[in-house]
C-alpha cells in the first residue's frame, strides 16, 4: 500500500495508539478509537452509509493513488 494515499498519509505514533488501547483495556472498554481524525472518520462512516464510505475508501486505497516519487 506504499503507493496509495492511505499508505502515504501521516500516521499516529504507534506508542500513543498502543497506550490508548491499553488504557481502554484496563477500564473494560470493548472498543476504542485513537485520535480526532480517526474518530471523525468513524462518525462519518456511520452517517454516510456503506456505498459512500466504500467509494471514499477506494479513492484512498487504490493502487497508484499516492504521490509519485
* Residue 52, pLDDT score: 95
Is 42 inside any structural domain? Answer: yes
Q: pLDDT tens for the chain, 69 residues: list them.
A: 999 999 999 999 999 999 999 999 999 999 999 999 999 999 999 999 999 999 999 999 999 999 986
Is 66 inside any structural domain? Answer: no
Q: What's the CA gap between 32 and 23, in Å, rounded? A: 10
Is 69 inside any structural domain? Answer: no
Q: What's the CA gap between 50 and 55, in Å, rounded? A: 9
Is 68 inside any structural domain? Answer: no
* Residue 17, pLDDT score: 97
Domain that residue 20 falls in: 5-61
Number of domains into which the chain is organized = 1
Q: What's the CA gap between 64 and 56, in Å, rounded? A: 15
* Residue 40, pLDDT score: 95
Stated pTM of the model: 0.74
Amino acid at each position: 500500500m506504499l503507493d496509495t494515499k492511505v499508505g502515504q498519509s501521516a500516521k499516529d505514533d504507534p506508542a500513543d495508539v498502543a497506550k490508548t488501547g491499553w488504557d481502554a483495556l484496563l477500564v473494560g472498554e470493548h472498543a476504542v478509537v485513537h485520535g480526532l481524525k480517526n474518530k471523525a472518520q468513524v462518525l462519518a462512516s456511520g452517517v454516510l452509509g456503506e456505498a459512500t464510505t466504500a467509494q471514499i475508501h477506494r479513492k484512498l486505497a487504490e493502487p497508484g493513488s499516492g504521490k509519485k516519487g
